[in-house]
Amino acid sequence: MTAPHSSLTAALQQVDTDLDAALDRLLVLLAIPSISTDPAYQADCRKAADWLVDDLTSLGFTASTRDTPGHPMVVARHDPQDGVERPHILFYGHYDVQPVDPLALWTNDPFDPKIEETPKGKVIRGRGASDDKGQLMTFLEACRAWKKANGALPFNLTIFLEGEEESGSPSLIPFMQENAKELTADLALICDTGLYGADTPAIVTMLRGMYKTEITVTGPDKDLHSGMYGGPAMNPIRVLTKILGRLHDDEGRVAIPGFYDDVKPIPQDMHAQWEALGFDGEAFLREVGLSVPAGEKERSALEQIWSRPTAEINGIWGGYTGAGFKTVLPSKADAKLSFRLVPGQDPAKIGAAFNAWFRAQMPADCSVTFARENGSPAGEMNIAQPAFEAAREALTDEWGTPAAFVGCGGSIPIAGHFGTVLGMDAMLIGFAREDDAIHSPNEKYDVECFHKGVRSWVRVLDRIGG
Amino acid sequence: MTAPHSSLTAALQQVDTDLDAALDRLLVLLAIPSISTDPAYQADCRKAADWLVDDLTSLGFTASTRDTPGHPMVVARHDPQDGVERPHILFYGHYDVQPVDPLALWTNDPFDPKIEETPKGKVIRGRGASDDKGQLMTFLEACRAWKKANGALPFNLTIFLEGEEESGSPSLIPFMQENAKELTADLALICDTGLYGADTPAIVTMLRGMYKTEITVTGPDKDLHSGMYGGPAMNPIRVLTKILGRLHDDEGRVAIPGFYDDVKPIPQDMHAQWEALGFDGEAFLREVGLSVPAGEKERSALEQIWSRPTAEINGIWGGYTGAGFKTVLPSKADAKLSFRLVPGQDPAKIGAAFNAWFRAQMPADCSVTFARENGSPAGEMNIAQPAFEAAREALTDEWGTPAAFVGCGGSIPIAGHFGTVLGMDAMLIGFAREDDAIHSPNEKYDVECFHKGVRSWVRVLDRIGG
């Protein structure tokens, strides 16, 4: 722990003093039902964007909404204008939220947010409390406190807030391309991730990529009656299960030739740091009713999630699936597959290897098509950026627990877009907890996470700008 | 070919003379939309039954409808009452028909039947023309012609017509049990099958049985996100495809231990007779877009259909099957399987072997349930019954082509019920052609099949009763 100096101390005190007012502001934003995927809430999305522009303007930012074919972007700029050469930081968050159904499972109106006392402490309850309005406001409140305590932010700052993250970000890449000069900074900060466990602050440094494909196997040219044709006629469900049944070997490895060829090994120190986190793989599986790790046998569950590629059948269908029986021998059978990819793997190459492997096992008189193939490579943050070590120290100071460089089993496309579209490094820091129920009924954000989140950003501002 | 004698000659002449009137009668019956599965047609089913009772009464039968919880049965009795000891024959057919959808694919109203000229000859077009109103009327018309020519039928006859065959025959077994004395005869004749090829008369002597089961594999206790859990958490679709993918070995054999243990070999002469039919397995597959026989490699396609058991996946589903992608790792995956069984195989034993084989391959932390398990054994007719040879000779006389004892890949439960419920032998003779489009739009029955069908039954009456 480093000794706090006056501007940091003052800003942290300001955060503590202002907490109730900050929570009130968040509740106002949470009350706007900015569900981006449902056209019925289009005006509400704009209302949320306008509210943010007003708030940022009150903080001294030059802020505006920017129209897109979908929901507006919010872009705000703050320059200290003191003549000192400073780094330029961009902060990203999103103001749109997930739909709320099934509404019946909510204990109260998802857009009438409340601070609730619970056995585990105070929570902010409402749609978007954690994902992502509560998280993005941690950064805005940190800026507010810093400015109130110290007058100016310690670096040039662009705030970039999206309103389509929960509906696939259709306008994001075109907007980035059209506004590349304005948006390109030295580093992007993204607040849309979580703590590691309940209390370990975390910086995501690896995100798995994805390759998706949809398979259709065709056997006979029409559905057949199994009494008439059962025996001599090949059933495409038999073909599909036979081939997909070989997707993993008995050691839990993906059996496609060359699948692991380009996987970059995890550096020894990163690996050691992960081991030190003491992840309880058994408990992790027990929580969802399982007990036998299904991935590569020689890898821990944490390694499997953060650093190893997968092949999953996300959907399968064919033949008669209604009530009762129909002894049909169908013409077609389908499956949807996705592969989680890790640094080094090329989605197109993985797709080609899969297709070749699948085709090689097809009976001569059946055919296969692959549709909707698309992919995005894994993300690997540039932890050589000094900001990473600075942020790690800042987070460690706030939480009293060493901050971890962690992986993430899922994909957060925005991190990759900053790299591929704007050539910027990105750093993902967030304060969500696993029980926040994001995308589910009764979403919440712990007041502790919000409070410490604001304080964490104050410390990051200080470390990076200082 | 045997020399016709006077009563046979007279009856056959009567058939030819009366053909147009017989067709007119059939068109009246076909115009009644007796769709048994749709409650909207309940009155029409009764109307068809009443029409048949009236027709049978006019033929001198003691005929009546018999109420059931579903549609009525028609039972009619004819005894020559000439003091001579004669065999008692029962004839079975069904007056109900399949639904007609998709109606748009019919070239005319399915219940406004017509005699049509086609490039292949005259056809009777309408729902039920072949299945089974046209076929059952071949027998009634044969009785009519015989009686008109000769005064009395040559044996005691019960006609038993069902109105629920196309909707699973729910009332059949209880009705047979309650009326066992009345319905038990020396032999049942069933007219609901087809010719072999276009012109070879056929008597079905083997029917495959069936065992059905529905499998549910459960992995995690809820649907999971593949970014979060992909790798360590077992996906039940992976389990299902892995196990079902091993259902057949590379030789096309079903891989369940003991599956073939009880299969009775086909007698050498039956086998030789099948070979002599010159079945073109390649053409059979080519018609449905296939070319590689999928069953046991050492067996011909005909053997595979008529005399070998199968395992088919009739339906499979799990995970996300809608448009686009959802990277879900589902909690459950399901499949519906059916096994076609042959003489010697016990459905319950096959079910137990399958379940044991499946369970033995399950991961320790996943579970499987088997539901809706039910089966019926294969049917094997008693061809030692002299009536079989008599009928074969009668059919050979009419068609000018040696009649064949054939197998049938499907199941015709009624044949088994006569054996298991009433202890009777059954003989299946029918005149449908493969292109009759039964259960499909534009169902037809060739006028030639109807005409020769009536004549065939006259010859069978003569041979069996004579």
The minimum CA-CA distance between A372 and chain B, rounded to whole Å, is 8
- The DSSP result for B131-167, as a single string, is TTHHHHHHHHHHHHHHHHHHSS-SSEEEEEEES-GGG
Residues A241 and A327 occupy one common structural domain: yes
Q: CA B130: distance to chain centroid?
A: 12
> What mean pLDDT is predicted for residues A18-32?
98
The number of distinct structural domains making up chain A is 2
The DSSP call for residue A199 is T
Please compute the mean of the pLDDT values over residues A108-121 and round it to a whole number: 96
Q: Which of A224, A241, A361, A439 to mutate to test the interface with B (most CBs of B within 10 A)?
A: A241
Mean pLDDT of B406-414: 87
- Statement: residue A3 has pLDDT above 60: no
Residue A394 lies in a domain: yes
The predicted structure's pLDDT at residue B102: 85
pLDDT at B235 over 80: yes
Measured in residues, chain B has a length of 466
Bridge partners (DSSP) listed for residue B215: B335, B370
Residues of chain A with C-beta less than 8 angstroms from the C-beta of B224: 288
Q: Quote the tokens at residue A307.
A: 């650093």
Pairing of β A367-376 and β A209-218: antiparallel
> Domain for residue A300, yes or no?
no
Q: What is the mean pLDDT of chain A?
A: 94
The answer to whether residues A122 and A13 belong to one domain is yes
The full length of chain A comes to 466
> Are A57 and A148 members of one domain?
yes
Residue A229 forms contact with B (CB below 8 Å) = yes
A-chain CB neighbours of B222 within 8 Å are 288-289
| pLDDT tens-digit map of A288-299 | 999 998 999 999
The model's pLDDT over B324-376, given as tens digits with 9 standing for 90+, comes to: 888 889 999 999 999 999 999 999 999 999 999 999 999 999 999 999 888 88
* pLDDT given for residue B1 in this prediction: 43
Cβ contact, residue pair B226, A338, below 8 Å:
yes
B chain contacts of residue A284, beta-carbon cutoff 8 Å: 232
Mean pLDDT of B162-190: 95
Residues B91 and B61: their CA atoms lie apart, in Å, by 13
Interface contact B305, partner A, CB < 8 A: yes
Among the partner residues B241, B289, B411, nearest to A220 by beta-carbon distance: B289
Say yes or no: B434 contacts chain A, CB-CB below 8 A: no
B138 and B72 co-located in one domain: yes
Distance from CA of B389 to the nearest CA of A (A): 26
pLDDT value of residue B327 = 85
State the nearest Cα–Cα gap between B329 and chain A, in angstroms. 6
Average of per-residue pLDDT values in chain B: 94
Best A207, A208, A224, A234 member to test B by mutation, with max B CBs in 10 Å, is: A234
Using a CB-CB distance cutoff of 8 angstroms, which residues of chain A are in contact with residue B192? none
The pLDDT of residue B239 is above 80:
yes
% of chain B beyond a pLDDT of 90: 82
**Cα–Cα–Cα angle for A315, A319, A324, nearest 5°?**
105
Q: Does B281 map to a domain?
A: no
CATH number at residue B432: 3.40.630.10
> Has residue B287 been placed in a domain?
no
Domain with B254, as residue range(s), is: 209-263+309-376
Q: Is A325's pLDDT higher than 90?
A: no
Give the distance from residue B53's alpha carbon to the nearest chain A alpha carbon, in angstroms. 33
Nearest to B72 by CA among B95, B47, B49: B49
Q: Domain holding B218: CATH number?
A: 3.30.70.360
A242 contact residues in B (CB cutoff 8 A): 245-246, 248
Q: Do B317 and A317 touch (CB under 8 A)?
A: yes
Residues A250 and A392 in one domain: no
Domain identity same for B241 and B199: no
Q: In this structure, are B173 and B251 located in the same domain?
A: no
My answer on whether B455 and B327 are in the same domain is no
Chain A contact for B242 (CB, 8 A cutoff): yes
Do the domain assignments include residue A424?
A: yes
Strand partners, A206: A380, A407
Task: Answer whether A363 touches B (CB < 8 Å).
Answer: yes
Q: Give the count of Cβ contacts less than 8 A between chain A and B.
A: 276
Of A327, A345, A376, at which residue does a domain stop?
A376
**Residue range A119-140: average pLDDT?**
97
ipTM at complex level: 0.85
Burial of B327-358, coded b for 16+ CB within 10 Å and e otherwise, reads bbbbbbbbbbbbbbbbbebebebbbebbbebb
Does B92 lie in the same domain as B63? Answer: yes
Query: Is B288 an interface residue toward A (CB < 8 Å)?
Result: yes
* CB-based contact A319 B325, cutoff 8 Å: no
What is the average pLDDT across B151-158?
92
pTM (two decimals)? 0.85
- B301-304 LR contacts (CB < 8 Å, sep 24+): B301/A231, B301/A232, B302/B274, B302/B277, B303/B266, B303/B271, B303/B274, B304/A231, B304/A232
pLDDT of B466 reads 64
Q: How far apart are CA B184 and CA B187, in angstroms?
A: 8
Neighbours of B147 (CB within 10 A): 17
Q: Is residue A270 part of a domain?
A: no
In a domain, B109, yes or no: yes
pLDDT given at position A466? 64
CA atoms within 13 A on the CB side of A60: 15
Residues A90, A147 within the same domain: yes
Structure tokens at A269: 């120190």
The mean per-residue pLDDT over the stretch B46-65 comes to 98
> How confident is the model over A7-17, as a mean pLDDT?
97
> Quick check: helix, strand or coil at residue A333?
strand
Same domain for A255 and A385, yes or no, is no
Read off the pLDDT of residues A87-112 as tens digits, 9 standing for 90 and up. 899 999 999 999 998 899 999 999 99
pLDDT for residue A1 is more than 50? no
**Both A55 and A148 in a single domain?**
yes
Residue A241 inside a domain? The answer is yes
Asked if A292's CB is within 8 angstroms of B234's CB, the reply is: yes
Does the distance separating the beta carbons of A294 and B232 come in below 8 Å? yes
**Residue A254: is its pLDDT beyond 90?**
yes
Report the distance separating Cα B396 and Cα A89, nearest Å.
94
Domain final position from A349, A376, A403: A376
Of A51-55, A423-427, B84-88, which range is least confident?
Answer: B84-88
Overall average pLDDT of the B129-153 stretch: 96
Q: Is A329's pLDDT higher than 50?
A: yes
pLDDT tops 90 at residue A410: no
Among A318, A353, A376, give the residue marking a domain's end.
Answer: A376
Verify whether the Cβ–Cβ distance A316 to B312 is below 8 Å: no
pLDDT of B204 strictly over 60: yes
A294 and B231 within 8 Å at the Cβ level: the answer is yes
| Residue B241 parent element (H or E) | helix B236-244
> At A323, is the pLDDT very low, low, confident or very high (cuts 50, 70, 90)?
confident
